[in-house]
Amino acid sequence: MTLRILTPGLGAVSTTLMAGVMLARRGLANPIGSVTEYGTIDGRPLKDELVSLDDITFGAWDPYKGSALDVAKRSSVLSAEHLAEISDELAAIEARPAVFDQSWVEALEDVDNLVAPGSWMDQAEALMADINAFRANGERLVMVWCASTEAYRPAGPAHMNLNDFERALKEGDPSIAPSQVYAYAALRSGVPYANGAPNVSVEIPALVELAEREGVPIAGKDFKTGQTLIKTMIAPGLRSRMLGIRGWFSTNILGNLDGLVLDHPDNFRSKEVTKLGVLDELLRPDELPDLYGNLDHAVRINYYPPRGDDKEGWDNIDLFGWLNYPMQLKIDFLCRDSILAAPVVLDLAKLLDLASTSGRGGVQEWLGFYFKSPMEDQDGHIEHALFEQEAQLYSAIRSMLGS
């Protein structure tokens, strides 16, 4: 059985995913960073239990016309040698017309590939028609939001239950974001949905209600790939040794299209919220006020074109030990944004497919391992510590595989 990974957004992350899957299945590169490709469960390779790379296909929407090959070249993530090996396969993937509204992503101008105008509901119907066409040969589908980060607008009255949300879709309510229209179309079509960006998408009560009603798995939000990945390794370690933290300053330089979009304050605010939430949940200052009760946490992202997709993330941690004597820890992560994100998208797609075929619907909190701002479980708890999340991930996989 083939699994088609559908991505709103044909950009750096999604094309790096596509190219990587194509190269790996030809034996031309290794899918490093993918837990589902390299992990084991009770000594058995996980990849033997899940959909194979040989059986993965793709589909994407984007407000700009073009093929995955055009975008991959423009994104400058992969080498010309790598792209040459798979150029025919990438060229065959063309962006489908998108549901888009510039008021949500101001940096994107002169778009040329949109669905026909109409209410949000009309546009959702256009996406559902695409989804049906994508599944024409009986493929299973999953959708992972890999499109630009939308402006920060918290959920409002139209988002609180499905009835009101559907009425608002028909009325073209401006408080509805395009990403919510994609999530709605996916869930109505029985397609699992994950939100890779920090904006509010499937996390609204109306869409959680729909996912539960339809028994479709959902997960989010904001891929945990670089600085926050490291933060959720280091902070639990410092806490476990009862070392205090007075301040944590995180800054980044980034020069890709994502960096340009995040340069706008409304879009950066979405990212800031997911990046800032992490430390409070991890350190629980209310339980240890002497250690974490007076912590300053700041996060910055600076758009700096010379670096392209090669992000640099610095962390300065002001910590203190025995008798409050101060110390400092500096981290400089010279990373590659899309190289870190591509395996996360692959894992999420394969694991959401597993959840779906195992009959699990609604919020999949065990996928929190992959997100900066995991969705709450039923008790309202959010786990951020990476190794706790890893244990939850494996426990859920084990129970679904019946081992």
Ligand X SMILES: NC(=O)c1ccc[n+]([C@@H]2O[C@H](COP(=O)([O-])OP(=O)(O)OC[C@H]3O[C@@H](n4cnc5c(N)ncnc54)[C@H](O)[C@@H]3O)[C@@H](O)[C@H]2O)c1
From the list 31, 59, 63, 361, which residue makes contact with ligand X (rule: CB under 6 A)?
Answer: 63
Q: Cα–Cα distances in Å, from 85 out to 22, 23, 52, 222?
A: 9, 8, 20, 31
Q: Does 340 engage in binding with ligand X (CB under 6 A)?
A: yes
- In the complex with ligand X, the residue whose CB is nearer, 37 or 222, is 222
Kindly identify the residues of this chain, within the stretch 194-223, that bind ligand X according to CB under 6 A. 196-197, 222-223
- Binding pattern for the stretch 274-313 against ligand X, x by CB under 6 A and - elsewhere: ----------------------------------------
* Size of site (CB under 6 A) for ligand X: 35
From the list 3, 4, 5, 11, which residue makes contact with ligand X (rule: CB under 6 A)?
Answer: 11
Distance of CA 178 to the CA centre of its chain: 16
Shortest CB 103 distance to ligand X, Å: 11
- In the complex with ligand X, the residue whose CB is nearer, 108 or 160, is 108
CA distance 51 to 36: 10
Q: Does 149 engage in binding with ligand X (CB under 6 A)?
A: yes
- Binding pattern for the stretch 250-269 against ligand X, x by CB under 6 A and - elsewhere: ------xxx--x--------
From the list 20, 59, 220, 226, which residue makes contact with ligand X (rule: CB under 6 A)?
Answer: 226
Q: Does 178 engage in binding with ligand X (CB under 6 A)?
A: yes
CA distance 228 to 390: 15
Length of the chain: 403
Q: Does 364 engage in binding with ligand X (CB under 6 A)?
A: no
Region of 97-105, 125-133, 291-299, 315-323 interacting with ligand X (CB under 6 A): 97-105
Comparing every residue's Cβ against ligand X, the nearest one is 11
Shortest CB 319 distance to ligand X, Å: 26
Residue 188 burial by CB count (10 A; 0-12/13-18/19+): exposed, middle or buried? middle
Region of 92-100, 133-141, 162-170, 235-243 interacting with ligand X (CB under 6 A): 92-100
Provide the b/e sequence for 354-367 (b: ≥16 CB within 10 Å): bbbeeebbbbbbbb
What is the identity of the amino acid at 69? L
From the list 203, 315, 337, 383, which residue makes contact with ligand X (rule: CB under 6 A)?
Answer: 337
**Tokens at 267, concatenated:** 């879009």
Shortest CB 24 distance to ligand X, Å: 19
Q: Does 24 engage in binding with ligand X (CB under 6 A)?
A: no
CB 259 within 8 A of CB 340: no
Indicate the pairing of strand 56-61 with strand 3-8: parallel
Q: What are the residues binding ligand X (CB under 6 A)?
A: 8-13, 61-64, 75, 98-100, 105, 108, 146-149, 178, 196-197, 222-223, 225-226, 256-258, 261, 337-338, 340-341
